[in-house]
Structure 1
């Protein structure tokens, strides 16, 4: 019987360590969301420059936390794996001198049951979180968008929230047309086009502190940020891209009719999804793809 106790104890400790780590991760994520909300509340809605910087800061914070949590889980797995190897050797040696040893199958079954219980608990936590979000703005927006897209045999294709989402969505749509332009290229061409057509864009850019139209220097800085930072793109940049690509760009929203820029061009439109409640800061662009069922039907 001693061999059973020696084998089960490290396993119980491993599961307890994992649960404690996941519990701490959930707490840290909640604290980060509270911090993000506080950061958001501190920035005026009309301060576009500070909001863009805020988006970069939030993306960095979320990315750093995600990487930290991933590394901690990986470290725990590696440590547990090494401990399990040592424990296995010790147990096997001890078992050589023990008669009436319990069948290995019962121990394996016990491990499976414990893992199943942990998985069930995790699924229950996910279900509870989904129930809490049923009346949230993000959930309602997703429902509306799903209905709009389903009518067109489309569905959302998720794009990372890193400040480059609009350009990444354009990049993804261009791939469908076998046009391989990178995010860096799209940013560079956008800034160059806007600088060469100042009169088409400058009147729509104002200093959030004074309300005055951007000075040439401020406009130059704005274009530099497009190229050299993760500055969030909006309707002005979409207008520039439609001229660069000579292609219409359609933006689907949950609560408003679609916006189309570049209607003067006859190419197949690029389709983006604009979401107001996707992340802590709200605004986010996604791409679209064909629904699998409709794609199958078209191919049959």
Structure 2
């Protein structure tokens, strides 16, 4: 009897746990049905326990008349052991088979297939679509011409036509200023000086020269700026911000030297200094695709 009562207490705890879980998962629409189902489960378990106690005391016939055998089988609860059967002391315990009766292994609750997780399914579908798009893009990229290689080949051809060869400049954000510094060195034009600047950092002197000219001729540059002048000048002097058309104009004026920029397909953009110097001109090579950071300038020297 002690073992039977201990099993009954465990089954009651298991049922309460299951009922609590079902009620938490219920929505407003299903709450009434869930409550009714839970009441039936509690009543059924109570009847079976009473029948088992009566059977143990020798009065199984009377109780079994009240609880049909089919209902008893539906309400049979499994206990520790996991072998699909619970043992009682001196009492035959009705076994339940989830495969035969269609009930779950927990507290006699009818088996309910787990609903598919729609959110996970959507994420998996989206990931598969993105992977397929990436694969297709990769295949398309293989079919495209190598822009870098083609641009490089054309630039070398146009340099040769003009008697120029290339001094490659490091692609670090300072390339325009480093290329101009190399050109000024070839032309023997002083860079100017910045306190504490090492020879290897001559681009700093060129940056400072461009910033100083723009600051001194604000009316010529401010209309073309998209940010306040102090912030713009700070970027030129103190950061690795790329240089472009405005900086080339300032440098041509500062050093009194025309600047020729050779571009793809042989185009040459000339930035005039207005100084009237003869024979003093710089040559830069501008690449749109040739280097990892994107746009890039190299120094173009005269071929001996």
Name the TM-score class by shorter chain. 0.3 to 0.5
TM-score if structure 1 supplies the norm length? Answer: 0.47
TM-score if structure 2 supplies the norm length? Answer: 0.47
Higher Cα Rg: structure 1 or 2? 2
Structure with bigger helix share is 1
Q: Which has the higher contact order (CA 8 A, sep 6+)?
A: 1
